[in-house]
Amino acid sequence: MTEPMTRVVKLGGRAQSADSLAATIASAWNASKAMCVVHGGGDEISALQRKLGGEPKFAGGRRVTTLEDLDIIRMVLSGVVNKRLVSQFNAAGAPAVGISGEDASLIAAKPLGISEFGYVGMPVSINTSLIETLWLAGLLPVVSPLATNAETPGTALNVNGDDAAAAIAVALGADELLLIADVEGVLDSSGEVIDQLDVDEARALIASGIAVGGMAAKLEAAHAALAGGVRAVRIADIDALGESGRGTFITLATVGAK
């Protein structure tokens, strides 16, 4: 009997509005029983920040986060978004459990740079036993990407969802990391989907300004996942969960290159 494919799926905030989301996640879960979902929710965080009199700021595709912003991010990601997704997935037939990266120190992170990013972290360790325990119980983990601060225990850091998903995929030895966006894949300068990108080509897209903001962060996370041993990384839309050839495949080097 073959082992099921282990997948880590990152759901961007805008991708969560797809009508087919819950059914597609449930179908993918029931096909493998070894899947973990990490979600974002950037637009909703920004909306609440503005309602409370603030203004979102970003650096390199990552949200600059003040101490006050951490509570907003907890409310939106670990509260509203996480529980809404859990409810939708359960209703569609996937027995989902919502957790935060702060739970049982699932994600421990170190500050990326307080002066530039504020209270934003890069994962340094993952407590895979929490995810594996949920899998053994037949449950789908749905993760809000906040983290415990490895340098200052008892405090939290905001972690970009793509960075969190990549770190979890590496720690689990995942067969695939699927970064789901609201576009079909990485787009070239004419708006066409690129079927495959190696790391050097991805860096060139970032340097040229073709891949910016959230897409640049996805490409960087893809590199980290591949370097850490994840077998396959794709950037695609929600339909890629059921179509193995859909989206942009990211590789460490061009196939056939010497």
Question: Is 54 noted as a catalytic residue in this protein?
Answer: no
Question: Is 162 noted as a catalytic residue in this protein?
Answer: yes
For the stretch 88-127, pLDDT in tens is 999 999 999 999 999 999 999 999 988 899 999 999 999 9
Query: In this structure, is the dihedral angle defined by the CA atoms of residues 208, 218, 66 and 44, taken in order, positive or negative?
Result: positive
Query: Does the residue 110 lie in any domain?
Result: yes
pLDDT bin (cut points 50, 70, 90) of residue 254 is low
- In the DSSP assignment, the letter for residue 74 is I
CA 170 to chain centre: 12
Res. 240: pLDDT tops 50: yes
Query: Does the residue 2 lie in any domain?
Result: no
Question: Is 42 noted as a catalytic residue in this protein?
Answer: yes
Pairwise CA distance, residues 253 & 55, whole Å: 39
Query: Does the residue 142 lie in any domain?
Result: yes
Question: Is 218 noted as a catalytic residue in this protein?
Answer: yes
Length of the chain: 258
Which value, to the nearest 10 degrees, does the dihedral of the CA atoms of residues 228, 231, 232, 233 take?
-10
Catalytic residue among 41, 101, 218, 247: 218
Question: Is 258 noted as a catalytic residue in this protein?
Answer: no
What does the block give as tokens for 210?
């073709």
pTM, whole model, 2 decimals?
0.93
CB 156 within 8 A of CB 119: yes
Domain count, the chain: 1
CATH code assigned at 28 = 3.40.1160.10
Catalytic residue among 98, 161, 162, 247: 162
Catalytic residue among 42, 101, 185, 214: 42
Query: Does the residue 256 lie in any domain?
Result: no
Q: Which residues contact 220 (CB under 8 A, 6 or more apart)?
A: 61, 162, 163, 206
Pairwise CA distance, residues 5 & 174, whole Å: 8
Query: Does the residue 28 lie in any domain?
Result: yes
Res. 256: pLDDT tops 50: no
Q: Which residues contact 136 (CB under 8 A, 6 or more apart)?
A: none
Pairwise CA distance, residues 54 & 63, whole Å: 13
Query: Does the residue 99 lie in any domain?
Result: yes
The kind and range of the H/E element at 197 are strand 196-198
Strands 146-149 and 107-111: parallel
Write out the residue range of the structural domain in which residue 11 sits. 7-251
Whose CA is closest to 40, among 191, 218, 194, 243? 218
pLDDT > 90: what percent of the chain?
A: 77
Pairwise CA distance, residues 172 & 175, whole Å: 9
